[in-house]
Each structure stands twice: as structure tokens, then as C-alpha cells.
Amino acid sequence: MTPPNTERRHPRSTGLGALDANAVLSLMDDEEPVVTRAVARARPALAAAAVEMARTCASGGTVAFVGGGTSGHLVLQEVAELGPTFGAPPGRFRAHIASSSLHDPAVVTAREDDGEAGPAAVADLGPGDLLIAVAASGSTPFVLATVRNAHGIRTCGIANNPDAPLLAEVDFPILLDTGPELLTGSTRLKAGTAQKLALNRITTAAHVLLGAVRENHMVELRGTNDKLRRRAVAIVTDLMGVDEDRAREALDAAGWHVRSAVEHLAAP
């Protein structure tokens, strides 16, 4: 059986095991443009996914991500950042992952070969929701079974192989064709990097469409710790042209929600 691109040996790295550290990094540097080119080629599909995510959120729907292995870890990281960055309400975004390297039952749904846990995890989703499935191979049983059982739910799939079954099963297919890895089969490298870039693009563009960005600032940010409060003060001073004391006063009155503080300062 012919292996998928992500599992093939890279012809330029057959001597990888004999290289010194500098040579290893040089080889990786030379290969990195493959990632950015793959993501750039997928721009129309990424934009379509961002529009669909924004539409789902605007109508109060849920966006569920599923992934296994490296893809699962990336999904979990992306979802964890959306609340602090964009003020996403609890439950709007959620992650269902399969991983053998994590042991916290709060985040590990199943093993990657489990074809039953994924569908069960998203059984409560409906026509107003969106499912985003991520798998380098595009054939991970946990991920593929989830998509195949997502009846009546809009689906988006991200994979790194042109013939990935996942891409044939979804409404919004996104191919990130990063080819063979320098370390054979280690999709935490180019494939994972491309997936991270793709997820960043989809979620950021979606929240721009949702109005969570003003100029280039995160206006839905809430100052829940010292770092975020400093950032909130900087945003309000920059957007409203007030000094830091006035910004802090407005933020304090607004519960440290940037948009509310800005609207307070803008009121006549």
C-alpha cells in the first residue's frame, strides 16, 4: 500500500541521523517555506471557513473542534485562547481530542483509533452549529467517525494529504499540502505548523468579522489578571487618546471590559 504524503520519506533528509545540530536546523530552515506556501494556497478555503465560523457565532451556535495526536493538542490550544483574546462566551467553542500523551480526563476524550467516542461527544450539536475536524492524515478514526456521524451539522475539515478521506466528507475542505516530513512521519513538524497557522487565520478572521477587533486591538478583552489589565489600559489609551489614569478609571467602572470602557469614554 502506498503511504500518504505525510508518511513518506523525504528525499532530502535521508542522512538526517548523521547530521550535527547546525546542519539539522539548516535543513529545517530550507524546508519551512513549504509550510507558508501550503497555507497561502489554502487562503480561499480558510476565508470560507472563517465566514462560516462568524455566521455560526453570530447566530449563537457552537463551534466544536475535533482532533487527534498533534492536531488535538493544537485544537485544544486554539480553543483555550479564544475566550481571553476575543471574549468568547463559555461553551461557544469547545475541543474534543484524542491523545495517548495526556492523562487528564477533562481533556482526553479517547484514543485516536476510537471510532465511537467522537460521535458521542458531539451528539448534542445541531443545524446551527459548526464542526471543525483536524487530522494530518485525514484518516484518523476518531476524527473521521465524528465527521461521518455529524448529521445535519455543517462541517469543516483540515488535512495535509491531497487524497485524505476527511476532505471528501466535509462541507468546507481545507488542504494544507506540506508533503513528507524531514523526520519521516513526524507530523508535529510541517503538518502541525501549517495547522496552527490555519487555525489562527480562521479564528482571527472570524472574530474580525464579528466585530471583536477595533483597528488592530482586541476590544472584547477582559482584564482578569495583571498582564491583561496592563494590556487593557494600553488599548484604551491608544484608542481613546486618554491618559492611563483615565483609562483605568473607565475600565474599573466597566468591569475591566475594554469595549465597555471605550463606549463609556465615547459617550457624550
Whether residue 21 is contained in a domain is answered as no
Whether 180 and 262 map to the same domain: the answer is no
Active site (catalytic) residues? 81, 112
CB-based contact 18:146 (threshold 8 Å): no
Whether the CB-CB separation of 7 and 184 falls below 8 Å is answered with yes
What's the confidence (pLDDT) of residue 109? 46
Residue 180 shares a structural domain with residue 125: yes
Q: Are residue 261 and residue 194 in the same domain, yes or no?
A: no
Treating both helix axes as pointing N-terminal to C-terminal, what angle do 244-253 and 226-240 enclose, rounded to 10 degrees? 110
Same domain, 45 and 105: yes
**Is there a single domain that holds both residue 48 and residue 135?**
yes
The count of structural domains within the chain is 2
Mean pLDDT, consecutive 10-residue stretches, the chain (268 aa), reads 90 96 98 98 98 98 94 94 92 85 46 66 92 95 92 96 96 98 97 98 98 97 94 98 97 96 93
pTM to 2 decimal places: 0.92
Co-location of 184 and 223 in the same domain:
no
Q: Is residue 89 part of a domain?
A: yes
Structural domain harbouring 222: 213-266
> Any idea what the CATH number is for the domain that residue 231 is in?
1.10.8.1080
Q: Is 55 in the same domain as 166?
A: yes
Q: What is the pLDDT of residue 115?
A: 57
User: Is 204 in the same domain as 232?
Assistant: no
